[in-house]
Amino acid sequence: MTALFWTSALLGAALGAANAAASGLIIRAARGRSQRSFMTLLFGGMAARMAGLLAAIAIVVAFVPVELPAFVGALGATFALGLVAEVYLLTRPARVAGA
């Protein structure tokens, strides 16, 4: 496997990890708010994350020499792991202060 393969895989994984980290920050910011505010932050943040991720993917594919199978595979794997973490964060009970 060439250096281009590993660079492509690392770049895809970095984009997926950045998306997951942004998701975690949005969930953390939304916790403790009213349901309406929580949902607005969650879905607005998701729309912003998806738009940003799409723009980043377009820029990488257009301007950076990458092996597409490695890039897409690593991005898909880290994106899926990020979704699992996001669902976990959304479904676990909120911690009560002082408990």
The amino acid sitting at 15 is L
Q: Is the pTM of this model over 0.85?
A: yes
Q: Where are the domains of the chain?
A: 20-91
In Å, how far from its chain's centre is CA 33? 22
pLDDT for position 97: 58
Per-residue exposure over 52-78, b if at least 16 CB sit within 10 Å of its own CB, e if not: ebeebeeebeeeeebbeebbbebbeeb
What whole-number distance in Å separates Cα of residue 81 and Cα of residue 91?
16
Three-state SS across 56-92? HHHHHHHHCCCCHHHHHHHHHHHHHHHHHHHHHHHHC
Give 33's pLDDT tier (boundaries 50, 70, 90): very high
> What digits encode the pLDDT tens for the residues 43-93?
999 999 999 999 999 999 999 999 999 999 999 999 999 999 999 999 987
Give the list of residues 6+ apart from residue 67 with CB closer than 8 angstroms, or none: 2, 4, 5, 8
